Structure 1
Amino acid sequence: MSSIDLAIFSSRISAVCDEMGAVLKRAAFSPNIKDRLDYSCAIFDSKGNLCAQAAHIPVHLGSMAYAMSGIIERFDWHDGDMVIVNDPFLGGTHLPDVTLIAPVFYDGALIGFVANRAHHVNIGSDSPGSMPISSSLEEEGIVISPTKIIDQSVLDESLLEKLAHSFEAKGDYLAQVGANKSGVTRLTELVTRTGVESYLAQLNDLNAYGRRLAQAELSRITPGEYEFSDVMDGDGITSDPITIRCKLRVSKHGIVADFTGTSAQVAGNVNCPLSVTAAGVFYAFRCLLPDYTPACAGAFSVIDIIAPDGCLLNANYPAAVAAGNVETSTRVVDAVLGALSQADVTLAASASHGSMNNIAMGSHDSQHPWDYYETIGGGMGASVNGSGLSCVQTHMTNTLNTPIESLESHFPIQITEYSIRKHSGGEGLFYGGDGIVREFEFLSDTQVTLLTERRQHQPWGLNGGSAGKVGCNWLNGELLAPKVSLQVKAGDRVRIETPGGGGWGEPNS
């Protein structure tokens, strides 16, 4: 199969994922999905190997790619089925991210799966926004083990009612169902045009091509062992620093990312299931590959991961993981990029803001219940290619900001400031990007949870560039801890100042 034919085939199946995402966005009700675009879509083969994905959320797709096979082996699949799951220890990320998986049959034979994952702002936690300062998984909400929500085209209405806490939430679940149905239809049409044997052969060729590309590009890294450590601010229960240690072993056969020496799993919620750690590693190396590299299993097959059982990055059930998906995954990327910089400083960017700067809020008052959650961008790290961007999401998230008009029309909130945090990026030959200032004024009594990082340890610079500024969280002018839950009154203001990115290179004199 020629490279041109492979490129066309890769674009065709990727377009199926793009259309699934468009359906989900247009049909969803909540700002988290329709405005922030906190969702992802992908296609897998009949064994659960990744075939294609849209350019959505890296932490979603990398974790699905790592653990899909274990989920599909649990079921006797039929046409019209759909499985729902959010268990972080069975291929999930954290409980708000709910995945729906649908099989694709052709002439009675199972030929693959489509799947989408979307963030649900209320997954049953007592804490509004379902991102609590937790110390066990059960505090974070409802754990959905892989379960058929649709069995041979029959929807389990009782399960949907149990999961959906509002009309809006029900609409989001049904939007996910619709996205998968769209994916099944479009993939079936593609197989009909190409023929099933040709389709499966092209999948094999695509994976072989992805593997060759990855081997060729990653073989440019000088063989050897490269180690880097980074530190997290704490787990929300204590402020004790938490170490992430990464050793990369690079050879002509591939790369091993070894996290031996990383801190043991902690009492708070910054723990990661191994699938989330894998997502961070896959993403970091995907950034080194050409844009035209297909997003398939073959492209990741040259990377192996070691994370000792029971450590922060391979935590055991029922560890709390709500912030592991959003905060620790991002810092896994920092550790991998830091190790790559030891091999060749031009391979890696300086540290970006290193946090998704999460804020969850709402009220479970019986008369006016509401839940909201968002992530806030910051400064991108600089690199040999130039200065970092300001006020952007980086690495493991790819969501948009919620437009102020949407936020204020849905919830009792006003945004009193939304601006660039000037001079928060690190200096250097190339500057780190600046962070963001976002200030919320609450119009009614509200419970607020902040899960943030880089409030105590600066985003590092490279090659003589200086570090970016740490972030700060404030309540009515008083400094808050990086991770905190608090009850605010009408008129109170929470101000979040996100970190800047690290600089790169010695400044010009």
Structure 2
Amino acid sequence: MARIVQRPDPLPKAAEVDPVTVDIIENALRNARAEMDAVLFRTAMSPGIREQHDEFPLIANPEGLMVVGQFGLSIPAFLEGFEGTVEEGDVLFTSDPYACGGAISHANDWLVILPIYVDGWVVGWAAQFGHMTDVGGKVPGSLPTDATSIFEEGVLVPPVKLYDKGRLDEDVLRIALNNVRMKEWNRSDLNALVAACRNAGRRIQELCERFGTDVYLATLDALLQRNYDAMKTLIETTIPADEVLTFTDYVCDDGMGYGPYKIHCSMWREEGKLILDFTGTDPQSLGPINYYLNESLYKMFFGTYMISVFDPQILWNDGFYPLVDVRIPEGTLLKPRYPAALSCRTHGLGRIFDILTGLLGQRQPEFLCAAGFSSSPHLMYSGTWTEGERAGEWFQLYQIGFGGIPGRPAGDGPDGHSLWPSFTNVPNEFLEAYFPLVIEKYETVADSGGPGLYRGGNGIDIAYRFLEPGQVSIHDDRWFTYPWGVNGGLPGGRSRKWLERADGTVEVLPSKCDRVQVQKGDLLHYVTWGGGGWGDPLERDPELVALEVERGLVTRDGARRYGVVLDEEGRVDQAATEALRAEIRAGRGELPLFDRGFSDLEELRARCLAETGLPAPKPPQFPPFARQGS
């Protein structure tokens, strides 16, 4: 456990702080957090961070509670795993999820934490982690789909000092970089993380100088208390005390031919607290789809949802954590035992958002969203240039793709968009300038968004033409199960991947695979899932459906799923539309709250090969030491 070196006398705190000062400091914290991002984007080298923004900042109070941030992580858990002193000028560093209580969730995330000192006291912490394109391991990109332990996934740096009282520990850095394929990218990205945290530290020191340390700290207490009070009211008014709500969803497969894996969560209110209990979740996987879920992180996910729905102007923080109790049985998919593989944890991460949505909306369907954050699709492409000025040079791409955003109470889900607030696409021009490939197609997949009063967002089809031999790794999900629709909305379309070889042959690829050899001229179609629909499709404006057919978002046949018939000119045939809608209403029965697109998993297995071109996954296999009967 860390020993923090600071003045022995207690930190001063003002008795109270006026609302205007709270507002000023709150917005200064927002700006400091945004400035962390700006520093990182302008100084990192990897496209995953520089262009895609796969990073997450945080500013915390002296106890390590987040007061502003995007993702949230557990500074106290990190400090528990750190042996030694923490002093002014130190910068702490780790890439080991098991050593920091899941503050990061796989080895590709490099985490930097910096104590912020004012007059000898620790007045807070700045932290930021980013996804490194490569951290070593058995495959380029360090996310092997067939790993059975974390030791196959790259270098694991325990909690250490990267800077000791302002002095860089060259040996720590040298050891970390010696294990990775993209040394200059990692060095640059790590330096950028440190610079961003130092910038946040300066901004906090300026606030303390401007307002006084006592006023600054009292403001943090006020912000944390405000979230506590707001969440207490929301929990009491929206979470039932008289029943237990449950929801189940699945990760389609583990990359090794087994699946689907069940994630199950129950929710109820007990003595003023919200309980989120994952008992019933499958035991941990032999493969790498395990997601080491930090309890505080899931509390943050819950709070983000609640505050975004009911009061999006609030700066959400960790203040409400005592009101939420997250229970995750050890040895399960969400709390695997060391050294379980974690490299494909992104699918479980995406699924728990869908599960949270399914839980929180059951009693208030008007706030319910469909499924849509169904994964975080990854593509890795690597090899050696054989032609031109770069001949002999190693290239390595890591890129995140996006699927369809779910239909929502507020309207349609965007097509091919990220649910993460700051994630953006890597520009095609950037990819073509720095990597040996051409993007021949980048378009939405018509009809992949689930029909509804509000349509789910369409998935996207990115067609990569490879210009150099190399190897490809793919990470995705929702190829076996569907993103479900709600309130009568229909499910979104599945993901799929296939290669059109230069010799004319076509090869269907699984959603999780490594070491796929590609040659010059091969074309990869990377198609992502659509979002589920919201509400009765027969209530959607027929003229809007006709417009979407004109724009290529819905096909003519797809329009019939909304009960809309178009004439040869593409106009709505009113009489035929009314007749078709009446026919559909008469034959469909009561609209379900959730439409998963299947009645049971065995039915889905029977349909799988014909519908996807891939064999159905075999029932899951679990390690003998994993939690059984859960």
TM-score range, shorter chain: over 0.9
CA distance in 2, matches of 1:43, 1:342: 34
CA distance in 1, matches of 2:33, 2:356: 28
Contact 2:91 2:164 (8 Å CA) reproduced: yes
CA distance in 2, matches of 1:35, 1:497: 21
What SS does the corresponding residue of 1:116 show, helix, strand or coil? strand
What displacement does 1:219 show?
2.6
CA distance in 2, matches of 1:398, 1:125: 28
Give the gaps of 5 or more residues in structure 1: 56-60
Q: Which residue of 2 aligns with 1:226?
A: 245
What displacement does 1:412 show?
1.5
Q: Which of 135, 157, 163 is equivalent to 2:170?
A: 157
One-letter code of the match for 2:306? L
User: Residues 62-211 of structure 1: matches in 2 within 5 Å?
Assistant: 62-64=72-74, 67-71=77-81, 74-89=83-98, 90=100, 91-133=103-145, 134-164=147-177, 165-211=182-228
How far does the alpha carbon of each residue in 1:8-46 deviate from its partner, in whole angstroms, 9 at most, with x for none? 222112221111111111111221111111112111122
CA distance in 2, matches of 1:262, 1:278: 19
Give the gaps of 5 or more residues in structure 2: 1-16, 386-390, 501-505, 540-580, 582-630
CA distance in 2, matches of 1:267, 1:188: 47
One-letter code of the match for 1:347? F
Moved more, 251-260 or 301-310: 251-260
Contact 1:426 1:461 (8 Å CA) reproduced: yes
Contact 2:89 2:164 (8 Å CA) reproduced: yes
Q: Which of 220, 226, 233 is equivalent to 1:216?
A: 233
CA distance in 2, matches of 1:466, 1:407: 35
Q: Which residue of 2 aligns with 1:447?
A: 471
Structure 1 residues 428 and 436: alpha-carbon distance in aligned structure 2, compared to 1, 3 A threshold:
same
CA distance in 2, matches of 1:504, 1:260: 29
Q: Which residue of 2 aligns with 1:500?
A: 530
CA distance in 1, matches of 2:53, 2:34: 12
Contact 2:47 2:398 (8 Å CA) reproduced: no
What displacement does 1:65 show?
6.1
What displacement does 1:69 show?
4.9
* Total equivalences in the alignment: 499
User: Residues 402-481 of structure 1: matches in 2 within 5 Å?
Assistant: 402-476=426-500, 477-481=506-510
Asked if 1:489 corresponds to 2:519, the answer is yes
CA distance in 2, matches of 1:38, 1:338: 26
CA distance in 2, matches of 1:373, 1:241: 26
Q: Which residue of 2 aligns with 1:58?
A: none
One-letter code of the match for 1:423? D
Q: What TM-score do you get using the length of structure 1 for normalisation?
A: 0.93
CA distance in 2, matches of 1:305, 1:460: 25
One-letter code of the match for 1:490? K
Please say which structure displays the higher CA radius of gyration: 2
How far does the alpha carbon of each residue in 1:356-389 deviate from its partner, in whole angstroms, 9 at most, with x for none? 1111221379942222211111111112222211
Contact 2:459 2:527 (8 Å CA) reproduced: yes
How far does the alpha carbon of each residue in 1:318-338 deviate from its partner, in whole angstroms, 9 at most, with x for none? 1111121x2111101111211
Asked if 1:390 corresponds to 2:409, the answer is no
Q: Which residue of 2 aligns with 1:7?
A: 23
- RMSD of aligned Cα (Å): 2.0
Moved more, 22-31 or 305-314: 22-31
Structure 1 residues 278 and 46: alpha-carbon distance in aligned structure 2, compared to 1, 3 A threshold:
closer
What SS does the corresponding residue of 2:72 show, helix, strand or coil? helix
What SS does the corresponding residue of 1:437 show, helix, strand or coil? strand
CA distance in 2, matches of 1:102, 1:433: 40
Structure 1 residues 436 and 3: alpha-carbon distance in aligned structure 2, compared to 1, 3 A threshold:
farther
Q: Quick one: percent identity of the two aligned structures?
A: 29
Contact 2:74 2:296 (8 Å CA) reproduced: no
What SS does the corresponding residue of 1:370 show, helix, strand or coil? strand
What SS does the corresponding residue of 1:274 show, helix, strand or coil? coil
Contact 1:381 1:433 (8 Å CA) reproduced: yes
Q: Which residue of 2 aligns with 1:50?
A: 66
What SS does the corresponding residue of 2:73 show, helix, strand or coil? helix
Q: Which residue of 1 aligns with 2:300?
A: 282
What SS does the corresponding residue of 2:359 show, helix, strand or coil? helix
What SS does the corresponding residue of 2:332 show, helix, strand or coil? coil
Contact 2:54 2:131 (8 Å CA) reproduced: yes
Asked if 1:368 corresponds to 2:385, the answer is no
CA distance in 1, matches of 2:74, 2:499: 37
What SS does the corresponding residue of 1:160 show, helix, strand or coil? helix
Contact 1:49 1:68 (8 Å CA) reproduced: no
CA distance in 1, matches of 2:314, 2:226: 8
Contact 1:353 1:435 (8 Å CA) reproduced: no
| Structure having greater relative contact order (Cα 8 Å, sep ≥ 6) | 1
One-letter code of the match for 2:526? I
Question: Where has structure 1 moved over 4 Å in runs of 4 or more?
Answer: none
Contact 1:248 1:258 (8 Å CA) reproduced: yes
What displacement does 1:144 show?
1.0
CA distance in 2, matches of 1:2, 1:389: 41
Contact 1:84 1:98 (8 Å CA) reproduced: yes
Contact 2:299 2:321 (8 Å CA) reproduced: no
Structure 1 residues 284 and 389: alpha-carbon distance in aligned structure 2, compared to 1, 3 A threshold:
farther
CA distance in 1, matches of 2:188, 2:278: 41
Structure 1 residues 155 and 364: alpha-carbon distance in aligned structure 2, compared to 1, 3 A threshold:
farther
Q: Which of 262, 277, 282 is equivalent to 1:243?
A: 262
Q: Which residue of 1 aligns with 2:47?
A: 31
What displacement does 1:167 show?
2.4
What displacement does 1:2 show?
4.3
Structure 1 residues 381 and 100: alpha-carbon distance in aligned structure 2, compared to 1, 3 A threshold:
same
Structure 1 residues 278 and 236: alpha-carbon distance in aligned structure 2, compared to 1, 3 A threshold:
farther
What displacement does 1:3 show?
4.2
CA distance in 2, matches of 1:459, 1:284: 20
Q: Which residue of 2 aligns with 1:309?
A: 330
Structure 1 residues 25 and 222: alpha-carbon distance in aligned structure 2, compared to 1, 3 A threshold:
closer
Moved more, 41-50 or 142-151: 41-50
CA distance in 2, matches of 1:451, 1:256: 32
Contact 2:384 2:470 (8 Å CA) reproduced: no
Moved more, 422-431 or 61-70: 61-70
